[in-house]
Chains A and B, each alone.
Chain A
Amino acid sequence: MNDKTMNENTGQWLSAALDDELGDLSEFEIHQLLKACEEPDTLDTFERYALASSVLSGDVVNPGSSLLVGVRTGIEAEPDMAMTGSTGGERPQWLRPLGRVAVAASVAVAVVFGANMLDTSTPDEVRPTSPVLAQQNGGGIDTTTSADNLNVVRRAVPENGVTYVSDGAAAGNYTAAANETSMTLSARQLQQVRQQRMRRYLMYHLEHASLNNNSGMLPFARVSNLETETATGH
């Protein structure tokens, strides 16, 4: 795969990742993006996109592709990683089949966000050189992780991040520190992606409701905090 032949969707998804627009992608698309990131050329392309983006913004970039691959490996190795809510209660049965996809997607978001955030810094800073979540080991995941790499991940996690806990079986497969860090990141990012998407749906609906239900702009009164971050103001 190269620039010319790379799947158009993958190019758009990478572009979305660099533009902090991952919230525009569905979980399916994020999953596909993560899968595409296993291709070396895709990562090369990502690096070039990131480099171009960062040069334009005056930063220096090193996307740290091994980080992406490593997390992907870790997620794939986990056989049945379902999450529970922050209250610690059991997920409804009907949600469970979605859990693994949700986790993978959210980690993809987290990692791409993380790579984007972390690697637009000076070349002298510490770089991740090995996966954060490494190879499968005896049915679980060996979270043998260098301190540098773990720090890199932790830098991407806001201190007030929402903490989700994994199912008991899955929890045992992680060392405490790495598990807590990665799962906190995943849940928070997943929640953000969903919330952003629903917010966009709501605003889109209100725009068209205001045109089609004969009540002018009144429908916009339904949202106390009108979404204006995509403003085109001048």
Chain B
Amino acid sequence: MLLRRTLSTLLIAVSVQVASPAVWAGSDIDVPGLLMKMADGFRMLDYHGQLMYEQNSKMHSVEIVHLVRDGKEYERVLTLDGSQSEIIREGKPVDCYQPGELILRDNLPQGLIRNIGSLEDFYTFTVGEEDVRIAGRKAHVLKIEPKDDYRFGYELAIDKESGLLLHSQMMSETGQVMEQFKFVSLQLGDIDEKALQPVTKNFKKIPQGDCMDAEHMSASSHDTPWQMDLPQGYAFCIYENPKGVSPNAMVYSDGLSTFTVFVNRGEEVSDSHREGSTLMYSRSINVQNEIYTVTVVGEIPEATAHKVASSLRYK
């Protein structure tokens, strides 16, 4: 099947601007700076650790390795419980930014920022007064509460020294913990490259994603023929015709929450359920006398998926 990648974007501006030094709710800590430090931590640091993932009282553990060599990222993820499965991503330039990363950095063209708003328009950020200790390291606590029904909240513990995210809890509309990641052991720096070697035969390599370089800096438009009503704050990231996945796939993010929309021709069974914290929402709709099935996948409330899927139309 033909693979046609057509990435273009609304976003765009790769020169890394210095974020506003605004101080957000309840602390003298620069929250945008803290968020950027967190994002940079994942992309720029060498780390090797084991983390626990918990959802609905079910828990499993994962090993994660990340190294930067010659300006490129190399990553490996391995499940530690049950059957071994492994994912490798390698060669992503460390200065290669994805749209969601630019949103977090408030690094979008001015016109677009006015359209989608900034993170503080959709979330309230509160820094905890007391530090916590995770995997033997001191961390800031950052509480992120949504201001509408189209995204979930988070409670994060961010390493004071490195900025790496050590603990993340996703909160439901009622304040319940839906899922959490938590490092239980972590080595920062001085990582042996052997740690990147896959330990399984059938590891999977995943694509690194296209960078938002000057070529893609067109505020004009993207190639998707589809248009949807997005909740404010979400921006279009990627449009693809991925092999073996769907004729059309579109990714949207507000910088913290990400969802993907798949569009298939034809009528299929409607459904809405969660795989862990990830919503899988499908419904068929009539677009100019053609029936399509829209599937929205993401860590988002059902209201978001419903709004997006029910508004599918041609441009």
Contact = CB atoms under 8 A, between A and B. Distances in A.
Interface string B258-292: 11101011111110000111101000100000000
B86 interface: yes
Which of the listed residues A200, A216, A232 has the most CB atoms from chain B within 10 Å of its own CB? A216
Interface in A178-226: 194, 198, 200-202, 204-218, 220-226
Contacts of A24: 1, 244-245
Contacts of A228: 85-87, 200, 202-204
A41 interface: no
Interface residues of A, number: 49
B265 A26 contact: yes
A111 to B, nearest CB: 19
Interface stretch (A27-35, A50-58, A133-141, A169-177): A27-35
Interface stretch (A69-77, A94-102, A150-158): A94-102
A225 B237 CA distance: 27
B213 to A, nearest CB: 15
A95 B43 CA distance: 45
A215 to B, nearest CB: 6
Interface residues of B, number: 77
Interface string B50-70: 010101000010101010000
B87 A220 contact: yes
A230 interface: yes
B7 to A, nearest CB: 11
A126 interface: no
Contacts of B260: 201, 204-205, 208-209
B75 A226 contact: no
B264 A226 contact: no
A222 B280 contact: no
A110 to B, nearest CB: 17
Nearest to B61: A221
A218 to B, nearest CB: 5
B254 to A, nearest CB: 9
Contacts, number: 193
Interface string A120-156: 0000000000000000000000000000000000000
Contacts of A217: 42, 64, 66, 75, 77, 87, 89
A103 B217 CA distance: 47
A208 B258 contact: yes
A227 interface: yes
B83 interface: yes
B258 A212 contact: yes
B69 to A, nearest CB: 16
Interface in B153-208: 165, 168, 179, 181, 198, 200-208
B298 interface: yes
A194 B269 contact: yes
B207 A207 contact: yes
A220 B62 contact: yes
Interface stretch (B96-104, B218-226, B307-315): B96-104
B231 interface: no
B258 A204 contact: no
Contact of B298 (A27, A101, A209, A233): A209
Which of the listed residues A201, A212, A226 has the most CB atoms from chain B within 10 Å of its own CB? A212
B266 A27 contact: yes
Interface string B97-134: 01111001000000000000000000000000000000
Given A213-B255, A215-B42, A205 B269 contact: no
Contact of B165 (A12, A98, A209, A218): A218
Question: What 4 A-B pairs have minimum CB-CB distances, sorted nearest first?
Answer: A28-B266, A212-B100, A216-B42, A226-B85
19 contacts: A26-B266, A29-B265, A95-B269, A194-B269, A198-B275, A202-B275, A202-B297, A205-B258, A205-B259, A205-B278, A211-B101, A216-B43, A217-B77, A217-B87, A218-B168, A220-B62, A221-B53, A223-B276, A226-B86
Given A222-B278, A233-B198, A233-B200, 18 more contacts: A97-B267, A194-B269, A201-B245, A207-B207, A208-B251, A213-B100, A213-B253, A213-B258, A214-B42, A214-B101, A214-B104, A217-B66, A220-B87, A221-B53, A223-B276, A226-B86, A228-B87, A228-B202
